[in-house]
Structure 1
Amino acid sequence: MRSDRRPLRVVIAPDSFKGTLDATAAADALAAGWRRERPDDELVTVPLADGGEGTLEALGHDLPADCWRRAAVTGPDGRPVDAAWLLLPDGTAVVEMARAAGLPLLRRPDPLGATTRGLGQLLAAVVADPAVHRVMLTLGGSATTDGGTGALAALGARFLDADGAELPPGGGALARLARVDLGGLTPPPAGGVQCLVDVTAPLLGPLGAAGQFGPQKGATPDHVALLDDGLARLADLLGGDREAPGAGAAGGTAYGFAACWGAEFVSGARAVAAAAGLDDALRDAGLVVTGEGQFDAQSLRGKVVGDLVDRAGTAGVPVAVVAGRVDAAEELPVARALSLTDLAGSVAGAMTEPARWLAAAGAQLAREQSVTL
C-alpha cells in the first residue's frame, strides 16, 4: 500500500442521527475524525435535513447570530412558547411548524383541541419583517389536525359556525364549520410560500391527515371520524386540491396554506439541500460523506441521503455513507458504507457515544482515502 497526502476537497453532509445527534453535531464529529488523519484536506460541512425538526439548525449552522429571529407565540395547548425562525441571506424565512405547534410542546396529546394558532402568530411576525421575500415552511412533528385553520385565523381569516360565531381552537371544532371569511387574511410574501413535506398523504380518508396520522397524535377511531368530517367541511368551503399528494401533511396544514396562501408542496430533502447550497459545495469535490441513523433501500427513496446520492451522481462525486446501521442485504449504490454499530461493537455502544464513533468513522474513511488516491 502506498500513502498519498494530496489535498482533497471533501463535502461532509449528513442528516441527523435520530435520537442521538443532530446533523450539525454529526458533521462536526465526522470532520474531526477526518482531520486527525488528513489535516491538509479542504472540508466543507453541509448539515442536511428532511424539512422537519432540525431544519433550522441544518441551514443556520454557519450563519451569523443576527439571522436567527424569535417570536413569542401561543403553543398548541394555549401556553406561551418562544419560537425561533431563520432568515437566510437571500430573504427566505425558514419556519419550523414544530417550534410553534409541535407534539413535544403538549403536556398530553389533545387530538381535538390542539391548535396551529402559534404557527400563524409566528408567520405574522415573519411576513411583517421587510427583509423577508419568501417563506419556507417545514411541516414535520405537528401536534394538530385542524387543517391549518388556527394559523390562518391568527393571520386574519375567520372560521364561523352556523350562527356566525368564530370556532374555538382545534380540529374537533371543524365539524361545526359553516362559513369561511378570508377578507382580512394577511397576504403571503411576494416570493411565495413553500411547504416542505415528506409524506404524500391526501387531505381526507384512511390515508389522509386524520386517518393516517391522527392516531399518532392521540386520536381514537371516533376522533378520527370527527376530524376527517371537519376537514371535509373545510375543503368544501375552501376548494383547492384535497387529493394533492402532501395535502394531509401536518394535520392538513399543507392543504390550508395551499388553498389560502397559494403555497406549493416541495420535497423537504430537496428544498433543504438547495437552500444549503449543496450543489455548489459538490463542485470540484473528490468525495462526499453523508450519514443517517439507518441506511437501507428506503434511504434512497426521497429521503436526505437518497437525494444527496442523486446530486452527487450528477456531479460525478463518489459517496461514502456512515450510518448507525447498514442493511448489507441491499445493493447500495455508494462507494463505501460504514456501520457505527460494527465500529462500536454493539448498538448500545454506538448510541451511547455517537460522536466518538462518528469521529472514528471519519478517521477510517480518511485513512482509506489515503490508500486509494
Structure 2
Amino acid sequence: MRILIAPDKFKGTLTGVQAAAAMSEGALRVYPEAVVTMLPVADGGEGTLEAAVAAGFTERFNTVVGPIIKPAGAVWGIHRQTRVAVIETAQASGYLLCEPTVENSLRAHSYGSGQLIVAALEAGATEIIVGLGGSAMTDAGSGALRALGLKLLDGQGHLVPLGGGSLLDVAAIDASGLDPRLAGVKIRMAVDVDNPLYGYNGAAHVFSAQKGADDDAVQKLDAGLRHLASLVREATGVDVDVAGAGAAGGFPALFLAYAGATIERGFDLVAEMIGLDEALADTDLVITGEGSMDEQSLSGKAPIGVADAAHARGLPVVVVAGRITVTPQELAKHGVVAAVSATDVAGSPEAALADAARYTIRATSEALNGI
C-alpha cells in the first residue's frame, strides 16, 4: 500500500506539515506496512513556502523592511537545481507584522517583499513564485517595485511616501532605474481569489477593512488604486485591473506592467512546484484535508484540487478535516470515498481545537478503517 498524504494547513491549529505528520501516524496505525509520502499543499497564499520547503526547496532568511518600516525577519526558499525561488507576501509584508489600525492601513507597504525578490535575483533565481495572502498593505505592489528601482513621483518630482494612502499623490512613474535583472526572470503570482484591482469587488473594498481601514480609508485606498492604474495604463498601455490583481492589496498590478508577471491559480502553481502529478503516479491511496471542509472548499481550494487530480487517475481519496460541513454525496463527486472530521471524533469543536494533532490522528485512522 502506497499512501500519499497531501493536506493544506488547518488554519489556526496545524501547519500543512503538522497536519501531514498527524495523518501519517493515523494511517500507519491502520496500515503499518504502508509506504507513506507526505506532500503538503497550498492555495498560493500562506503555506506556499512551507509546501515548497517540504518538497525540497532550501530555506533562506533575510531581514527586510516590514509593512510599517520596522525591520522584519522573512523566510523564503529556492530550489538548488531548478533555481526556482518562492516568497510569500505574508513573510515580509504580512498583517501580523503590524496593528490593524486606520493609520497603518494607509501606511502599510510591500517594500520588504520587493527586498525578498532582490535577494532571489542575487541568488540566481530564474523563476520567482510569489505566494499572495495575509498582507497588511493595499499599495498595488508599488512598495515592492520601489525596492527594485521604480520611482513614484509627485507633481514636484519628489518621491511620494510608501503606502497605499499616498497613491493619489502620484503624478508620474519613473521606471528608468528598474533592476534590469527583472527582464531575465519569470515572475508568477499565485492567487486564490479573482478580485480585480479596484472597484466594489477590488482590493480595498473587499480586503482592507480587515487590515484596519475604516470607510474613509477604504474609499481613499480604492481611489488611489484606480488613479495609479490609470497612470500605468497611460505609461505602458497595460490594463492592470484584471481578475486576480486585487490579491494581497493589489500586489500583482504593477508587476504585470513593469515585470511581465503572470497571475496564476494558486493551487495549480503549487501543484506544479511540488510535483503533485509525479507523486500521484506512484501511489494507491490519497489522503487530503484542511481545517474546514465547506462550500468554499468545493470552489477549488487545495484539498479539492488534490482530490480531483487523484480522481482523474482513478485513485480513492480520503478527506480528514477539522470540521466538515459538506455532504458525503458532494465529496463523492470528487472521488472521496471516506471523510471524517476531528470535531466529530473529539465530540466538540473546542476539544478538537485544543488537541488538533491527536484528533487528526484518530480521525485518519477512523476514516481508513471505514473503507
Q: By the TM > 0.5 criterion, same fold?
A: yes
Question: Which residues in structure 2 correspond to 1:234-249 (within 5 Å)?
Answer: 234-239=228-233, 240-249=238-247
Letter in 1 for 2:357: A
* Aligned counterparts of 2:326 and 2:299: Cα–Cα separation in 1: 17
- Does structure 1 conserve the Cα–Cα contact (< 8 Å) formed by 2:196 and 2:242? yes
* Aligned counterparts of 1:108 and 1:317: Cα–Cα separation in 2: 44
* Aligned counterparts of 1:232 and 1:338: Cα–Cα separation in 2: 46
- Consecutive unaligned residues of structure 1, counting only runs of 5 or more, are 1-7
Question: Which residues in structure 2 correspond to 1:257-296 (within 5 Å)?
Answer: 257-296=255-294
1:59 Cα deviation from its structure 2 partner: 1.6
1:105 to 2:107 alignment? no
1:94 to 2:86 alignment? yes
Give the percent of matched residue pairs that are identical in Structure 1 and Structure 2: 43
* Aligned counterparts of 2:9 and 2:127: Cα–Cα separation in 1: 26
Letter in 2 for 1:245: A
Question: Which residues in structure 2 correspond to 1:82-231 (within 5 Å)?
Answer: 82-88=73-79, 89-109=81-101, 110-130=104-124, 132-187=125-180, 188=182, 190-231=184-225
Q: 1:68 aligns with which of 59, 69, 72?
A: 59
1:90 Cα deviation from its structure 2 partner: 1.7
- Does structure 1 conserve the Cα–Cα contact (< 8 Å) formed by 2:26 and 2:365? yes
3-state SS in 1 of match to 2:340: strand
1:290 Cα deviation from its structure 2 partner: 0.4
- Does structure 1 conserve the Cα–Cα contact (< 8 Å) formed by 2:195 and 2:246? yes
Cross-structure match for 1:252: 250
- Does structure 2 conserve the Cα–Cα contact (< 8 Å) formed by 1:133 and 1:189? no
Question: Which residues in structure 2 correspond to 1:29-48 (within 5 Å)?
Answer: 29-48=22-41
1:366 Cα deviation from its structure 2 partner: 3.8
1:57 Cα deviation from its structure 2 partner: 1.4
1:344 to 2:338 alignment? no
* Aligned counterparts of 1:150 and 1:101: Cα–Cα separation in 2: 10
Cross-structure match for 1:367: 369
- Does structure 2 conserve the Cα–Cα contact (< 8 Å) formed by 1:204 and 1:242? no
Cα 1:189–1:307 shift into 2, 3 Å = farther
TM-score (norm 1): 0.93
- Does structure 2 conserve the Cα–Cα contact (< 8 Å) formed by 1:18 and 1:293? yes
- Does structure 1 conserve the Cα–Cα contact (< 8 Å) formed by 2:183 and 2:259? no
- Does structure 2 conserve the Cα–Cα contact (< 8 Å) formed by 1:135 and 1:189? no
> What are the superposed Cα offsets for residues 235-292 of structure 1, whole Å, 9 maximum, x if unpaired?
1121222331101111111112111111111111121122111111111422100011
> What are the superposed Cα offsets for residues 18-67 of structure 1, whole Å, 9 maximum, x if unpaired?
11000100000110121123221111111111111121112212537xx1
Cα 1:202–1:108 shift into 2, 3 Å = closer
The runs of at least 4 consecutive aligned structure 1 residues that moved more than 6 Å come to none
User: What is the CA RMSD across the aligned residues, in angstroms?
Assistant: 1.5
Q: 2:322 aligns with which of 309, 321, 324?
A: 324
> What are the superposed Cα offsets for residues 287-312 of structure 1, whole Å, 9 maximum, x if unpaired?
10001112133212121012112211
3-state SS in 2 of match to 1:364: helix
Cα 1:20–1:114 shift into 2, 3 Å = same
1:360 Cα deviation from its structure 2 partner: 1.0
TM-score (norm 2): 0.93
